[in-house]
Amino acid sequence: MSAPAPTPTTPPARWREVFAGARGRLTAGLLLLEALVATQILVVATVMPAVRSDLGGLALYGWTFSASGLGQFAAIPIAGHAVDRFGARWLLAVTLVVYSSGLLLAALAPSMLVLVLARLVQGVGGGAVYAVSLATVAKRYPEALRARVLALLAAMWILPGLLGPPLGAILVTTVGWRFAFVAPLPVLVLAAVLTFPALRGANGDRERRIAMGPPLALALGAGALLAGLTIRPQPASLGLVAVGLAVGVPALRRIVPAGTFAARPGLPAAAAAAFLLSTSFVAADSFATLMLTGVNGRSVGEAGLVLTAMTVAWSLGSWWQSRAVARWRLGRLVVLGTVLVAVGLLAAATALVHLPLGISYAGWTLAGIGMGVAFPTIPLSVMNAASRGEEASELSATLLMDTLGVAMGAGLGGAAIALADVLGAELRVGIAGAFGIGFLAALALLGIARRLPEPGPAPVHSAA
């Protein structure tokens, strides 16, 4: 049972409190890690069309995004429980080594298949870093400061949003796309130097049990499911889908809170909402640069501008959310953000029918604002409802569903593109299918958004 959450009328905390005293070093380390990951993600998203031209493998294009998510499936629930058991410092060191190994393997990839495997390794490390970072926010910051910290983490995407896509374009036209994977390594060392001392003394409960089987089974099941969706339709592909569902669904039920599949009010609804929000956005976002280069004939640099607009808009939406959370109910914030995402995706898709690209760019910007409002609200609701001492474990279920949505959004969108390719349809048809998947997921989220845990005088129980 957790402590009562603050009422919606609680005034927002001052920004300087986040950087006060010893907490300031921890904040700086977390922000640098977030900025590093943001830059790498945006640079890679920008260079992927060039990677496709160099390595081929259009059918595996969506897998370069999905593989990272599959690694995160296994890593996030394990890392969440590991933080509660061992503390954050030791776990962060291990995961940074794994993340760096994935970057090096990707830089050396001779084929799209090897790149997919490298992204899987990178996802394992990145997923654990994600779990450790947000678990640290839940454990080391008071409730009144959490929305501010989440807003600052989102703000770390502004500069990468401005510089990441142009940097990716420069790398493609000069030294090559492979340097997009090695450039973050020196900054990783600096982030570690800042963060590790601030995590000293963050010990956990050594008696806590860590379940390895269900997360690994989930990753295998999700991989089989996505493989069945993306290869040429045949009996073998249907068999992979069946195996993926048979293995993955029971494993997922053992990880997430009871009632997640029905979006039961409280923590289960938060987990389901995280899945639907990420599926909605990523199903379209993963193919934004491909749409602009492959359908509209724009350069990598021009296509990268949409990523810049999105990330800046996301940060601005998160900044507004950090103030509005003191006045708005959390469910209403998620509804507002989801509506903006849905409308934004419809406007962004107009590039497929060659309407003025300004409409599409404005749509991506609107969707970015919506994500900035809805995305941090969901984990914030879980942090406020989590049981003391089990923050990381209970939060990890929502983070897992978030990454499951990322992988399924990219995977289902990739399946739509691969199917269009098999049927001999134009690229725009497959991308339109990806956008349709994203829009349907947004509509589903609108139906459950008001079931999230809300601040109030009554304590909240975990549904684990």
Domain boundaries, the chain: 15-210+256-451, 211-255
Average pLDDT by stretches of 10, the chain with 464 residues: 41 68 79 83 82 80 78 82 77 88 91 90 87 82 79 77 78 86 85 78 60 81 77 72 89 88 91 94 87 81 78 87 86 95 93 87 93 92 74 78 83 82 84 92 94 62 37
- The predicted pLDDT at position 157 comes to 73
CA distance 426 to 281: 23
CATH placement of domain 15-210+256-451: 1.20.1250.20
CA distance 93 to 29: 13
Distance of CA 282 to the CA centre of its chain: 9
Q: At what angle do helices 267-285 and 330-348 cross, to 10 degrees?
A: 20
- The predicted pLDDT at position 456 comes to 52
Neighbour count for residue 343 (Cβ, 10 Å): 16
- The predicted pLDDT at position 378 comes to 93
Q: What are the phi and psi torsion angles at 225 (to 5°)? A: -60, -50
CA distances from 79 to 100, 175, 226, 266 (A): 17, 36, 24, 23
- The predicted pLDDT at position 1 comes to 33
- The predicted pLDDT at position 422 comes to 78
| Beta carbons within 8 Å of 193's beta carbon, 6+ residues apart | none
CA distance 417 to 61: 9
Q: Hunting for tokens 């059918």 — which residue is that?
A: 59
CA distances from 356 to 253, 292, 307, 348, 434 (A): 45, 12, 18, 10, 21
Note whether 109 and 133 are within 8 A (CB). Answer: no
- The predicted pLDDT at position 19 comes to 76
Note whether 435 and 267 are within 8 A (CB). Answer: no
The encoded tokens of residue 199 equal: 């995590």
What does pTM read for this prediction?
0.74
- The predicted pLDDT at position 8 comes to 44
